[in-house]
Amino acid sequence: MAEPVRKSRGGQKGRSGPPGNLNAARHGLTAWLRRRALPLNKQHVARFVQDYRAGLLECKGGEDGATEVEKALIENAARAFGACLLILEEAKVRGMVRKVDSTWDLSPGFARLVGFLNAERMALATVGVERRSRDVTPSLQDLLAEAAEDGDGG
């Protein structure tokens, strides 16, 4: 009996695995959003998520400065951020409020926004991204000294 002919399920030469494989993706979330999760008319959200993720990583010292746990938490925050953007965009199209009998209610999608906002907040709090104070230039002492000089010279 002859061996049945099998079609190769391998990917292209020089690539790891079949096309669409995300094993070697440097930024898996971005690739996943662009290839699988978002329809073509929502692809613009992936750019905002990528910029958001890059900003959070920069707060932690870049790719090399963040630990693997911090990177995972940043990915979680970025996913929640993307979901919030999609919900808000859809709420603009469909409306945030719907009539229910003689009263009103938030649309079901918009009502879930709070959950995604909380998920993002918790990921950010856990990763330790907080607002930092900046050095004010000129300092308070410099401003007071300048005000005293202006008051004495006039």
Condensed to tens digits (0 to 9), the pLDDT of residues 33-85 reads 666 667 778 888 888 998 999 999 998 888 888 888 999 999 999 999 999 99
With respect to residue 116, please indicate whether it lies within any of the assigned structural domains.
yes
Measured N-to-C along each axis, helices 68-94 and 44-59 cross at an angle, to the nearest 10 degrees, of 140
With respect to residue 95, please indicate whether it lies within any of the assigned structural domains.
yes
With respect to residue 106, please indicate whether it lies within any of the assigned structural domains.
yes
Confidence at residue 144, expressed as pLDDT on a 0 to 100 scale: 87
With respect to residue 6, please indicate whether it lies within any of the assigned structural domains.
no
Domain that holds residue 85: 28-129
With respect to residue 78, please indicate whether it lies within any of the assigned structural domains.
yes
Distance of CA 84 to the CA centre of its chain: 9
- Per-chain mean pLDDT for the chain: 78
- Out of 13-17, 89-93, 133-137, 138-142, the most confident range is 89-93
CA distance 72 to 4: 44
Residue 95: pLDDT band with limits 50, 70, 90: confident
CA distance 115 to 103: 24
Confidence at residue 34, expressed as pLDDT on a 0 to 100 scale: 61
Given a cut of 80, whether residue 30 has pLDDT beyond it is no
Confidence at residue 74, expressed as pLDDT on a 0 to 100 scale: 92
CA distance 101 to 80: 32
Given a cut of 60, whether residue 22 has pLDDT beyond it is no
Q: How many domains does the chain have?
A: 1
CA distance 127 to 71: 9
Share in percent of the chain as helix, strand, coil (round to 5): 60, 5, 35
With respect to residue 69, please indicate whether it lies within any of the assigned structural domains.
yes
Q: What is the pTM of this model?
A: 0.59
Residue 99: pLDDT band with limits 50, 70, 90: confident
Confidence at residue 152, expressed as pLDDT on a 0 to 100 scale: 65
